[in-house]
């Protein structure tokens, strides 16, 4: 069976990508989803706050997913659920996807183009090496969210949360509403990585203390978690002796970061950006393999699903153009470089021929900075664009848009940086 | 009445159980935890040592070399992950190069095959990421790596298939001997006292306590703790062999090795005077492990760490393994003080145990129907055609539950239904690997728990993470 486009992952990025590709004239589209339903992680996000940008209203996660699923139901986009992609081959004109499911068994599917939209996974205790014993009762926040919202089971009664990422904050409120006592939210950095609105609505409103510049230095419990030791950290993030306090708890939730899930990508030989842990992409959200595109959290971790959908839409439009042979294979590639205090940028390169009016760049800063300029300079150091910001933080993705005329001044590369206001 | 009761279902107890299941004997294997392989067997370096370390003439030397050979044979019979990747003992100074010569000589005397010393140039070919200060290495091609808990589980399963009775959650609290019959009392009220003619004590770090229940404590276990990192498969290719540093009085030093499943393992340190139950990791010790390992292999990215753990080496105050009938209690055989290379030696220790039983009068008659073979489905190792066939036979093989290790529901159900079936989330993990990967069960944990509850007709709250009382869920949410 030959498809024009196969989309791997039916979460918000994949749904938007498939829909936009269809709207742009692509007929044979297949979405492969490993879970039992479309929607991805949105299905376990029963809180509201989704869709403020896309739909101008506050939807819950499942409602937001339903909007896209309904949009797709009026198209002839196909999907297969409970289907796991084992590998993709990146060979030339025809790309092959190998997958399995319970009904059809082993599938070998051909496509002209592939969109990668597998999302991300959570960092674990092992990744951050919390010392101590290894009892049960330690969950990543998203896993706890699944148990509570999807399975209908509580994971504990006395809770400490490590990390103040958005899922952790949301779960602090969720656990409290379910009758658990959330003793503290502990954050290593001197600032939270979560959205400000979540700190207010999920911690402050329920009097849950946010311990900034603190971390967990010991796990206690032979069978089930019994307590954690929390210590203050110095400027180098090392625990300060003498500041230890023991918090009795049966549950520790970890909200310590998300990592794009790119094993299929890596196995297909697609180049990965060490900084984003996602594939390197160009202005079309295309990877270094022609005809394989990527979007959403598999490329870089977003704050808001609205922006994931937007990026998915872009990948879908680009894939449509690729299938219709409308992408100009430009000779000149403009590299986008991370300047001072910028951790990463997406896309990492652009081809001016394929940009009709303007290009938006997304990036994250390395720390909290007040009253700074976001600058874009060309390969010779000339200032092309400058935006002054009262505050920037790593927890909120930054964007800057350049018009084609501005991009044309790049002379080979553009460097995005934070510079002091002088 | 049993002929032989084995106390402790770690790698030693499991090996003895399987060895005894070759004979027409009534044998039981007694384990205090709710699954086998729960002690030192699940927390060690997972190395099959070649045998150049132990002093010439010791039991350790003999059993190590023999065990290294038997491990390769048995893992094939039992479908257990094993790779003969060879080991390198790396020297970082001229004096350590001298030590290598001693090791070579000792290894040759111990009967280790094909040992040789290689220089920096060849070492660098073997190991492109070797540390800059490495001068050369002792190369032992017979060394390898194994899945230790997989091996222990497979040995137990095969023993059970061949007639051994397994008692789980059966903590021995007292042993009485009367008229040449032992009575073993457990803390489990649903298990009647167990009567047996002979006892094999394979209780690991508690073997001295078990000995003390029936006679004098003829030895003392002084556990030595070691801490480790396990890193993502992205780091596995950094090393091609088991890479040791030159040994010192504190043991074999920090090793860096790929695991049988393609991860990288780094560790252990050595810490004495520790509580038997203290398996906690500490920041300082882990930092030490990292710093030492950097000498061996450059560029290990610890951001790709997926797990830390600590394990206990069950050392006694004696330099050699303790493999003998108790002096104070006839018919009570100690297999104790099984420190490194205990995992490697276990299959050979089991042969010794049988020999001791024979020498004290146990009649050994081989079973005609002993079946040494065991199979397990490893879905991802099948060809596309075999995969398709497997899914057609049982659609559960078409549903991937663990996306990091690509483990299907079919494999998980098989692990539950096997002779020594899993009934905990970690029990499943040890048998077929869901949760062993980079997400550490974040995605698959809830689904594995659901499958266990479904297959064993348990409420979700009753499914444990691992040992008894390691519960995961506390009850339903508000309606």
pLDDT, tens only, A379-403:
999 999 999 999 999 988 999 999 9
Q: Do A151 and B450 touch (CB under 8 A)?
A: yes
Judge whether A241 is closer than 8 Å to chain B, CB to CB: no
Return the SS3 of A224. Answer: strand
pLDDT digits (tens, 9 = 90+) for B94-107: 999 999 999 999 99
Of A258-267, A329-338, B458-467, where does mean pLDDT reach its minimum?
A: A329-338
The residue out of B324, B359, B375 marking a domain boundary is B375
Asked whether B399 and B409 are in contact (CB, 8 A), the reply is yes
Name which of A100, A124, A148 is nearest B306 (Cβ-Cβ): A124
pLDDT digits (tens, 9 = 90+) for A70-89: 999 999 999 999 999 999 99
Asked whether A317 and A295 are in contact (CB, 8 A), the reply is no
Q: What is the pLDDT of residue B250?
A: 62
Which residue, B54, B32, B86, B15, is CA-closest to B339?
Answer: B54
Query: Is residue B468 over pLDDT 90?
Result: yes
- Could you give the CA distance from residue B126 to residue B358 in angstroms, rounded to a whole number? 46
Distance from CA of B382 to the nearest CA of A (A): 12
- Could you give the CA distance from residue B294 to residue B300 in angstroms, rounded to a whole number? 7
Q: Do A129 and B286 touch (CB under 8 A)?
A: yes
**Looking at the domain assignment, is residue B450 inside a domain?**
yes
pLDDT digits (tens, 9 = 90+) for B264-286: 999 999 999 999 999 999 999 99
Q: What is the pLDDT of residue A91?
A: 73
Q: What is the pLDDT of residue A276?
A: 96
Tokens at B298, concatenated? 């450059």
Name which of B380, B406, B446 is nearest A143 (Cβ-Cβ): B446
- Could you give the CA distance from residue B334 to residue B198 in angstroms, rounded to a whole number? 11
pLDDT digits (tens, 9 = 90+) for B186-244: 999 999 999 999 999 999 999 999 999 999 999 999 999 999 999 999 999 999 999 99
The residue behind tokens 């190998």 is A98
Q: What is the pLDDT of residue A346?
A: 98
What confidence tier does B479 reach under pLDDT thresholds 50, 70, 90? confident
Return the SS3 of A248. Answer: strand
Return the DSSP state at B395: G
The CATH number that applies at residue B53 is 3.50.50.60
Q: What is the pLDDT of residue A162?
A: 98
Asked whether A397 and A303 are in contact (CB, 8 A), the reply is yes
CB atoms within 10 A of CB A47: 18
**Looking at the domain assignment, is residue B469 inside a domain?**
no
Scanning B229-258 for CB atoms below 8 A from A yields: 229-230
Judge whether A217 is closer than 8 Å to chain B, CB to CB: yes
Q: Do B307 and A153 touch (CB under 8 A)?
A: no
Asked if residue B136 and residue B151 are part of one domain, the reply reads no
**Looking at the domain assignment, is residue B23 inside a domain?**
yes
Distance from CA of B459 to the nearest CA of A (A): 11
Judge whether B290 is closer than 8 Å to chain A, CB to CB: no
The residue out of B353, B375, B397 marking a domain boundary is B375
Asked if residue B179 and residue B62 are part of one domain, the reply reads yes
Selected for mutation to probe chain A from B299, B439, B451, B467 (highest A CB count within 10 Å) is B439
Tokens at A100, concatenated? 């399995």
**Looking at the domain assignment, is residue B478 inside a domain?**
no
Instruction: Report H helices in A116-208.
Output: 125-128, 141-146, 166-177, 196-198
Q: What percent of chain B has pLDDT over 90?
A: 97
Asked if residue B395 and residue B363 are part of one domain, the reply reads no
Domain count, chain B: 3
Mean pLDDT of chain A: 95
Q: What is the pLDDT of residue A329?
A: 77
Known catalytic membership, residue B423: no
- Could you give the CA distance from residue A408 to residue A102 in angstroms, rounded to a whole number? 52
Judge whether B382 is closer than 8 Å to chain A, CB to CB: no
Which residue, B226, B404, B405, B228, is CA-closest to B300?
Answer: B228
First to last CA, chain B: 53
pLDDT digits (tens, 9 = 90+) for B202-213: 999 999 999 999
Name which of A34, A102, A155 is nearest B473 (Cβ-Cβ): A155
Residues with Cβ within 8 Å of A123's Cβ and at least 6 positions away in sequence, in order, are: A140, A254, A256, A257, A258, A259
Name which of B400, B438, B446 is nearest A147 (Cβ-Cβ): B446
Selected for mutation to probe chain B from A44, A124, A274 (highest B CB count within 10 Å) is A124
Q: Do B396 and A102 touch (CB under 8 A)?
A: yes
Judge whether B300 is closer than 8 Å to chain A, CB to CB: no
Asked if residue B309 and residue B322 are part of one domain, the reply reads no
What confidence tier does A194 reach under pLDDT thresholds 50, 70, 90? confident
**Looking at the domain assignment, is residue B479 inside a domain?**
no
Residues of A in contact with B387 (CB under 8 A): 100, 105-106
Asked if residue B326 and residue B243 are part of one domain, the reply reads no
The number of C-alpha atoms within 13 Å of B440 and in the hemisphere containing its C-beta is 24
Q: Do A131 and B286 touch (CB under 8 A)?
A: yes
Output Rg (C-alpha) for chain B, integer angstroms: 22
Residues of B in contact with A35 (CB under 8 A): none
The residue out of B328, B360, B375 marking a domain boundary is B375
Selected for mutation to probe chain A from B275, B309, B440 (highest A CB count within 10 Å) is B440
The CATH number that applies at residue B109 is 3.30.9.10
Return the DSSP state at B444: T
pTM over 0.90: yes
Judge whether B454 is closer than 8 Å to chain A, CB to CB: no
Range of the structural domain that residue B403 is part of:
379-462
Of A92-96, A274-278, B470-474, where does mean pLDDT reach its minimum?
A: A92-96
Selected for mutation to probe chain B from A96, A104, A129 (highest B CB count within 10 Å) is A129
Query: Is residue B254 over pLDDT 80?
Result: yes
Scanning B11-70 for CB atoms below 8 A from A yields: none
Judge whether B445 is closer than 8 Å to chain A, CB to CB: yes
Return the DSSP state at A147: I
Judge whether A192 is closer than 8 Å to chain B, CB to CB: no
pLDDT digits (tens, 9 = 90+) for B405-456: 999 999 999 999 999 999 999 999 999 999 998 889 999 999 999 999 999 9
Distance from CA of B30 to the nearest CA of A (A): 21
Cα distances from A153 to residues A145, B277, B446, B449, in angstroms, run 10, 31, 10, 12
Asked if residue B61 and residue B110 are part of one domain, the reply reads no
Asked if residue B304 and residue B396 are part of one domain, the reply reads no
Return the SS3 of B443. Answer: coil
Which residue, A6, A5, A12, is CA-closest to A296?
Answer: A12
Distance from CA of B265 to the nearest CA of A (A): 13
Name which of B283, B384, B403 is nearest A84 (Cβ-Cβ): B403
Q: What is the pLDDT of residue A121?
A: 95
Asked if residue B135 and residue B40 are part of one domain, the reply reads no
Which residue, B313, B357, B369, B359, is CA-closest to B336?
Answer: B313
Asked if residue B242 and residue B308 are part of one domain, the reply reads yes
**Looking at the domain assignment, is residue B177 inside a domain?**
yes
Q: What is the pLDDT of residue B247?
A: 85
**Looking at the domain assignment, is residue B188 inside a domain?**
yes
Q: Do A154 and B476 touch (CB under 8 A)?
A: yes
Query: Is residue B303 over pLDDT 70?
Result: yes
- Could you give the CA distance from residue B233 to residue A408 in angstroms, rounded to a whole number? 42
Asked if residue B232 and residue B308 are part of one domain, the reply reads yes
Among chain A residues, the shortest Cα distance to B445 is held by A143
pLDDT digits (tens, 9 = 90+) for A88-111: 997 788 999 999 999 999 999 999
- Could you give the CA distance from residue B31 to residue B29 in angstroms, rounded to a whole number? 7
Q: Do A179 and B478 touch (CB under 8 A)?
A: yes
Among chain A residues, the shortest Cα distance to B308 is held by A126
The CATH number that applies at residue B448 is 1.10.10
Asked if residue B38 and residue B106 are part of one domain, the reply reads no
Distance from CA of A257 to the nearest CA of B (A): 12
pLDDT digits (tens, 9 = 90+) for A110-150: 999 999 999 999 999 999 999 999 999 999 999 999 999 99
Asked if residue B308 and residue B167 are part of one domain, the reply reads no
Q: How many CB pairs under 8 A join A and B?
A: 141
Query: Is residue A8 over pLDDT 90?
Result: yes
**Looking at the domain assignment, is residue B467 inside a domain?**
no
Residues of A in contact with B464 (CB under 8 A): 136
Query: Is residue A1 over pLDDT 80?
Result: no
Q: Do B474 and A250 touch (CB under 8 A)?
A: yes
Selected for mutation to probe chain B from A109, A143, A241 (highest B CB count within 10 Å) is A143
Q: Do B391 and A105 touch (CB under 8 A)?
A: yes
pLDDT digits (tens, 9 = 90+) for B157-174: 999 999 999 999 999 999
Q: What is the pLDDT of residue B30?
A: 98
Q: What is the pLDDT of residue B441?
A: 92
Name which of B280, B398, B468 is nearest A223 (Cβ-Cβ): B468
Q: Which helix (H) or strand (E) holds B348?
A: helix B342-359
What confidence tier does B251 reach under pLDDT thresholds 50, 70, 90? low
Query: Is residue A340 over pLDDT 80?
Result: yes
């Amino acid at each position: 069976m030959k498809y024009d486009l196969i989309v791997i992952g039916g979460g918000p990025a994949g749904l938007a990508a498939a829909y936009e590709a269809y709207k742009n004239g692509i007929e044979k589209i297949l979405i492969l989803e490993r879970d039992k339903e479309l929607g991805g992680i949105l299905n376990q996000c029963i809180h509201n706050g989704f869709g403020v940008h896309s739909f101008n209203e506050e939807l819950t996660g499942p409602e937001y997913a339903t909007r896209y699923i309904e949009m797709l139901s009026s198209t002839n986009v196909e999907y297969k659920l409970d289907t796991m992609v084992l590998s993709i081959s990146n060979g030339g004109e025809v790309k092959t996807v190998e997958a399995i499911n319970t009904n059809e068994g082993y599938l070998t599917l051909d496509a002209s183009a592939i969109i990668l939209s597998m999302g991300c996974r959570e960092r674990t205790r092992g990744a951050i090496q919390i010392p101590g014993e290894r009892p049960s009762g330690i969950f990543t926040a998203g896993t706890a969210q699944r148990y509570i919202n999807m399975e209908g089971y509580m994971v504990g009664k006395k809770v400490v949360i490590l990390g103040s990422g958005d899922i952790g904050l949301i779960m602090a409120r969720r656990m409290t509403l379910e009758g658990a006592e959330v003793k503290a939210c502990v954050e290593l950095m001197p600032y939270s990585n979560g959205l400000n609105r979540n700190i207010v609505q999920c911690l402050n409103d329920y009097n849950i203390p946010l311990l900034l510049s603190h971390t967990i230095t010991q796990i206690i419990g032979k069978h089930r978690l019994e307590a954690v030791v929390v210590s203050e950290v110095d400027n180098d993030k090392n625990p300060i002796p003498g500041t230890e306090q023991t918090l009795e708890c049966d549950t520790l939730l970890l909200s310590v970061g998300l990592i794009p899930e790119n094993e299929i990508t890596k196995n297909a030989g697609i180049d990965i950006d060490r900084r984003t842990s996602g594939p390197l992409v160009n202005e079309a959200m295309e990877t270094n393999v022609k005809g394989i595109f990527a979007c959403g959290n598999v490329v870089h971790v977003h704050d808001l699903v609205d922006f994931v959908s937007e990026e998915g839409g872009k990948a879908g439009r680009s894939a449509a153009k690729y299938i219709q042979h409308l992408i100009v294979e430009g000779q000149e590639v403009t590299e986008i470089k991370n300047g001072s205090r910028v951790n990463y940028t997406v896309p990492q390169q652009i081809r001016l021929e394929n940009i009709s009016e303007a290009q938006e760049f997304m990036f994250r800063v390395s720390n909290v900075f007040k009253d700074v300029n976001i600058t874009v300079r060309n390969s010779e150091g000339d200032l092309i664009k400058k935006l002054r910001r009262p505050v920037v933080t790593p927890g909120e993705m930054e964007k800057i848009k350049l018009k084609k005329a501005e991009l044309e001044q790049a002379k080979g590369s553009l460097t995005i940086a934070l510079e002091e206001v002088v | 009445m049993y002929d032989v009761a084995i106390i402790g279902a770690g790698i030693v107890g499991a090996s003895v159980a399987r060895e005894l299941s070759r004979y027409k004997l009534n044998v039981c294997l007694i384990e205090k935890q709710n699954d086998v392989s729960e002690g030192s067997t699940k927390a060690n370096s997972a190395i099959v040592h070649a045998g150049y370390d132990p002093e010439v003439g010791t039991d350790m030397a003999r059993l190590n070399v023999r065990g290294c050979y038997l491990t390769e044979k048995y893992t094939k019979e039992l479908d257990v992950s094993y790779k003969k990747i060879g080991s390198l003992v790396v020297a970082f100074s001229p004096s350590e190069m001298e030590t290598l010569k001693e090791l070579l000589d000792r290894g040759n005397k111990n009967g280790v095959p094909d040992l040789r010393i290689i220089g920096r140039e060849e070492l660098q070919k073997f190991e492109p990421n070797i540390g800059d200060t490495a001068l050369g290495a002792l190369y032992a091609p017979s060394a390898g790596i194994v899945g230790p808990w997989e091996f222990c589980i497979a040995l137990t399963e095969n023993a059970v298939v061949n007639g051994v009775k397994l008692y789980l959650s059966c903590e021995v609290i007292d042993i009485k001997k009367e008229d040449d019959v032992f009575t073993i009392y457990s803390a489990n009220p649903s298990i009647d006292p167990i009567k047996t003619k002979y006892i094999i004590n394979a209780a690991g770090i508690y073997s001295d306590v078990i000995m003390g229940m029936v006679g004098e404590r003829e030895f003392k276990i002084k556990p030595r703790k070691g801490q480790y990192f396990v890193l993502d498969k992205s780091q596995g290719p950094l090393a091609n062999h088991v890479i040791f540093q030159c040994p010192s009085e504190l043991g074999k030093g920090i090793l860096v090795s790929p695991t049988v499943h393609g991860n990288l393992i780094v560790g252990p340190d050595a810490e004495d005077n520790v509580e038997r139950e203290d398996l906690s990791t500490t920041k300082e010790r882990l930092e030490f492990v990292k710093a030492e390992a950097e000498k061996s292999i450059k560029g290990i990215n610890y951001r790709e760490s997926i797990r830390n753990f600590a394990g206990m080496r069950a050392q006694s105050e004696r330099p050699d393994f303790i493999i003998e009938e108790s002096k104070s209690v006839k018919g009570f055989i100690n297999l104790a003080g099984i420190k490194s290379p205990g995992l490697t030696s276990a299959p050979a220790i089991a042969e010794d145990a049988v020999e001791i039983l024979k020498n004290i009068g146990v009649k050994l008659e081989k079973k005609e129907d002993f079946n040494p073979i065991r199979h397990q489905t490893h879905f991802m190792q099948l060809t596309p055609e075999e995969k398709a066939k497997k899914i057609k036979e049982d659609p559960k093989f078409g549903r991937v539950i663990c996306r990091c290790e690509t483990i299907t529901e079919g494999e998980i159900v098989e692990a539950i239904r096997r002779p020594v079936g899993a009934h905990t989330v970690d029990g499943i993990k040890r048998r077929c690997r869901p949760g062993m990967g980079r997400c550490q069960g974040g995605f698959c944990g809830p689904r594995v728990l659901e499958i266990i509850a479904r297959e064993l007709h348990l409420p979700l709250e009753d499914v444990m993470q691992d040992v008894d009382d390691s519960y995961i869920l506390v009850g339903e949410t508000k309606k």
